[in-house]
C-alpha cells in the first residue's frame, strides 16, 4: 500500500513494543563474534520527525515514547531502548524517532549484514540516503515478502527477519504467515519477528494462533508471543487496541526481559483501567 506512511504513527505504543523486542534480539545476536544478517521487509524511511506535520496530526508519539522519555525508573531493557532513541536525538530533545532500520544501525556492527526493503518511493529515497555510508548494507525498492526467499539462509547462517507490514490490506495477514513458513523451511535457525496490530477483526484475532502452529511445525527453538493492549475500541468498535509481536526461535533471554518491562508499559502507556499484556512462550 503505497499510500501508507508510518510517519503518522512514529513513536506510538506499537513502535515502543516493536523496537524494544527488536533491540533485545539484535543485542543478543551481537554477543557472538560471528556476524549476522538482519532482513527488514517493510523498512519505512529509517527515521521520522515527531515535529513534522505527519507526526503532529494525531501526535501518537505523545502516548508512546514521550511517556518514557524522562522517566528515571525504567526497567533496564526499557532504559536501553529509550537510550537508543536519545542517541538518535543528540541535542537531548525528542525531535526524531528512529524506525527499525535506524534501531538496527545503532546496534549492528560493521561486519553484520543489513538488508532492507521499502516500496514507497519517498521513504525509499530517505532510507537509502540515511544508510548510504553503512557497510554491508543493501536498500531495495522491491517487495520485501517476495524478496525474502533470496535472502535466506544468510551466508553466516546467523540472522533475523523483521516483518511489520501496515496490514491496511487483509492479504498482509496471509503473507506474513506464508513468509514465516517458507522462511523456516529455508532457514530453520533464524529469528523471525512479526509485528501485528490488535484490531477487532477476525484476521487480527487469528494471526497469533496461526503463527504458533507454523512455528510449532518448524522452528528449532520454539516461539514467543507478546501482546500489549493499551486502549478500548471507539463507539463503533473501531481503533487499534494495541499490538503484538510474535518471535520464532526467540533468544532464551527475551521472555524474562519482557516480563520485567511489560507491567511498566501497561502502567505508563495504558489509556484505560483495563490495559493489560499477554506474554507466552513455548520451547522447542
DSSP 190-257: -EEEEEEEE-SSHHHHHHHHHHHHHHHHH-TT-EEEEEEE-----TTS-S--EEEEEEES--TTHHHH
pLDDT at 261 over 90: yes
d(CA 73, CA 71): 6
User: pLDDT tens for residues 10-43?
Assistant: 999 999 999 999 999 999 999 999 999 999 999 9
What is the pTM assigned to this prediction? 0.96
pLDDT at 1 over 50: no
CA angle 145, 240, 275 (to 5 degrees): 125
User: pLDDT tens for residues 76-127?
Assistant: 999 999 999 999 999 999 999 999 999 999 999 999 999 999 999 999 999 9
Q: How buried is 34 (Cβ within 10 angstroms: 0-12 exposed, 13-18 middle, 19+ buried)? A: exposed
Q: What band does 4 get if pLDDT is binned at 50, 70 and 90?
A: low
- 3-state DSSP percent of the chain in helix, strand and coil, to 5: 45, 20, 40
Q: What band does 6 get if pLDDT is binned at 50, 70 and 90?
A: confident
Residues 227, 278 contacting (CB under 8 angstroms): yes
Its sign, for the CA torsion 279, 20, 114, 129, is positive
Grid cell listed for 190:
533464524
Average pLDDT, the chain: 94
Query: Which pLDDT belongs to residue 59?
Result: 76
Angle between the N-to-C axes of helices 100-107 and 121-131, in degrees from 0 to 180, rounded to the nearest 10: 10
User: pLDDT tens for residues 198-240?
Assistant: 999 999 999 999 999 999 999 999 999 999 999 998 877 778 9
The single residue listed with the C-alpha cell 521513504 is 123
Of the candidates 171, 151, 236, 198, the one whose C-alpha atom is nearest the C-alpha of residue 13 is 198
Backbone angles phi, psi at 18, to 5 degrees: -60, -45
pLDDT at 173 over 60: yes
Q: E strand or H helix at 40, and its extent?
A: strand 37-40
Q: What distance separates the 2 farthest-apart alpha carbons in the chain?
A: 52
Q: What band does 260 get if pLDDT is binned at 50, 70 and 90?
A: very high
Active site residue ranges: 164
Percent of the chain scoring above 70 in pLDDT: 97
Of the candidates 273, 245, 277, 275, the one whose C-alpha atom is nearest the C-alpha of residue 260 is 277
pLDDT at 53 over 80: no
Q: Residue 143 in 3-state DSSP? A: coil
Amino acid at each position: 500500500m503505497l499510500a501508507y506512511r508510518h510517519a503518522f504513527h512514529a513513536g506510538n505504543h506499537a513502535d515502543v513494543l516493536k523496537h524494544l523486542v527488536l533491540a533485545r534480539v539484535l543485542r543478543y545476536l551481537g554477543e557472538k563474534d560471528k556476524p549476522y544478517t538482519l532482513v527488514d521487509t517493510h523498512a519505512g524511511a529509517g527515521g521520522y520527525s515527531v515535529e513534522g506535520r505527519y507526526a503532529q496530526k494525531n501526535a501518537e508519539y505523545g502516548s508512546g515514547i514521550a511517556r518514557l522519555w524522562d522517566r528515571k525508573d525504567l526497567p533496564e531493557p526499557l532504559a536501553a531502548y529509550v537510550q537508543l532513541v536519545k542517541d538518535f536525538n543528540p541535542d537531548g530533545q525528542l525531535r526524531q524517532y528512529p524506525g527499525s532500520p535506524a534501531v538496527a544501525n545503532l546496534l549492528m556492527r560493521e561486519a553484520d549484514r543489513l538488508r532492507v526493503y521499502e516500496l514507497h518511493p519517498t521513504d525509499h529515497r530517505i532510507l537509502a540516503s540515511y544508510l548510504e555510508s553503512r557497510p554491508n548494507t543493501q536498500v531495495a525498492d522491491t517487495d520485501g515478502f517476495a524478496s525474502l526467499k533470496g535472502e535466506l539462509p544468510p551466508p553466516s547462517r546467523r540472522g533475523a527477519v523483521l516483518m511489520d507490514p501496515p496490514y491496511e490490506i487483509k492479504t498482509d495477514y496471509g503473507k506474513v504467515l506464508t513468509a514465516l513458513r517458507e522462511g523456516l523451511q529455508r532457514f530453520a535457525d533464524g529469528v523471525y519477528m512479526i509485528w501485528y496490530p490488535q484490531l477487532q477483526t477476525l484476521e487480527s484475532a487469528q494471526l497469533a494462533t496461526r503463527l504458533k502452529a507454523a512455528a510449532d511445525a518448524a522452528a528449532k527453538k520454539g516461539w514467543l508471543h507478546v501482546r500489549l493492549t493499551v486502549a478500548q475500541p471507539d463507539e463503533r468498535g473501531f481503533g487499534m487496541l494495541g499490538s503484538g509481536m510474535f518471535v520464532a526461535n526467540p533468544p532464551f533471554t527475551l521472555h524474562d526481559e519482557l516480563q520485567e518491562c511489560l507491567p511498566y508499559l501497561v502502567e505508563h502507556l495504558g489509556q484505560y483501567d483495563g490495559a493489560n499484556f499477554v506474554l507466552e512462550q513455548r520451547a522447542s
